[in-house]
Amino acid sequence: MSLEKLRRIDETKLEVPVDYKQGMRVPGIIYADSTLEKELEIQAIEQVANVATLPGIIKASLAMPDIHAGYGFTIGGVAAFDLKEGIISPGGVGYDINCGVRLLRSNLTKQEVFPRIKDLVEVLYNEIPAGVGSKGKIRLSPDDERRLLTKGAQWAIENGFGEALDLERIESRGMIEGADPSIISSKAYERGRSQQGTLGSGNHFLEIQYVDEIYDENAANSLGLFVGQITVMIHTGSRGFGHQVCTDFLEVMERATGKYRIELYDKELACAPFNSPEAQDYLAAMRAAANYAWANRQCIMHWTREAFMKILNLSPRSLGMSLIYDVAHNIAKIEEHTVRGTKKKLIVHRKGATRAFPPGHPELPEIYRHLGQPVLIPGDMGRASFVLLGTEKAMEETFGSTCHGAGRLMSRHQAIKKAKGRAIWREMEDKGIIVRSAGRGTLAEEMSEAYKDISDVVEVVHKAGISKKVARLRPMGVVKG
């Protein structure tokens, strides 16, 4: 199979035709312009085609411009399935269930914070545990953990980590109903008990940024953003808990695939019919992991506020640090979409993709209903991140979805090899970005060259109309795992 079989639909979209691979029920659609097309991996295109063979898939197997090969589905993959004929697949959600991003605004400016940026980064690194297997300051009893799994961010707020107002600015108000703590394995409980309130490793980060460009003044004003303003972005998920849930249910789904005689073109797409006990159990466990992740980001946000107040000697009012929004990247949700003119409930898998719901959508908080959903797209630690808004076109074309980040160009091994002999932290400091990390290896894996240029990725979704640019944020200080 090769790139020659793809067909360009327009300047932002490529089609993987149904004859690309035997068994495809629908075409694949990859959002990529001529620049990003050159960076497409054959394996990722194959995965888009493989997803298109799954039972009950609706309209198309979609991939966002940050596409790169993942487990089963591509990272950047979106697929919606019929609730009667369709399936649910852990490969369409990923190991880091509800890995996501939240963005905080403040009353501070770049000029005010720059002289203290090293101190801030150091305190944040010490206050928020990061790195592989990091353990947090929160110790959960078994009862606490079960409550957390059903209440999500609300559990964190009830335990003093934040304010009730925060819930209005989190996707699904920081909690999905239908989580069932009773079906979670003891190993998942064990892994989750000490990791609540931790950043983790890999591409997870906490970043102090400033707004350096605004594209839509009215939208920026509605979000409370202005040029030169300090913002903070938090990117993490459900940690070892979510990883274990995924691991446990991949085994369940592998057995279910045989039991229900589902023909797979890739064993990593192990799945079960949506209405089967196996699929419903996975959904209930996935929701518990999603709630764990929302609580996790809520706790980290609380400590971030405290660190800023401590270092800068500010009152909460003077700091003015509040949540703009929190979005999930790796999740499957039951949503209502229009299919061939009829409203229909579907199970939408987003893996390395985020919602981009339009103005007026009933699932948006009241404060943003006139505006559309805030979309948060982090880049690599050396370039930029973007704030966008969801659109009606996204609902029509991508089940209300858009990209979630820059997307890797190199494997972690390739990046480490390329960084050999280099001091990445020094290169970052020369750019005016202070970085603190649990290890040199992480900085090598996460260097800018390992990723696509976020500006190219965001330009594609903006031009395609599936989300529209509001503001660009530049990094000043980064805490990595």
- Please identify every residue annotated as catalytic: 404
Q: Kindly report the three-state secondary structure assignment for every residue of 263-289.
A: CCCCHHHCCEECCCHHHHHHHHHHHHH
Comparing CA positions, the residue from 192, 12, 13 lying closest to residue 97 is 192
d(CA 460, CA 471): 15
How many residues make up the chain in this entry?
481
User: Which three-class secondary structure state does DSSP give residue 262?
Assistant: coil
Q: CA-CA distances (angstroms) from residue 12 to 37, 438, 444? A: 10, 38, 31
DSSP-assigned states of every residue in 145-158: HHHHHHHTHHHHHH
Strand residue runs (E) in 163-256:
205-214, 229-236
Residue 356 CA from chain centroid, whole number: 12
Q: Which of 457, 324, 454, 297 is nearest to 381 (CA)?
A: 454
Q: Please say whether the dihedral angle defined by the alpha carbons of residues 275, 59, 257 and 349, taken in this order, is positive or negative.
A: negative
Phi, psi of 448 (to 5 degrees): -55, -40
Closest CA to 161 of 45, 47, 52, 299: 299
SS3 state of residue 188 = helix
E strand residue ranges, 329-450: 330-339, 342-351, 353-355, 374-377, 385-390, 401-403, 434-437
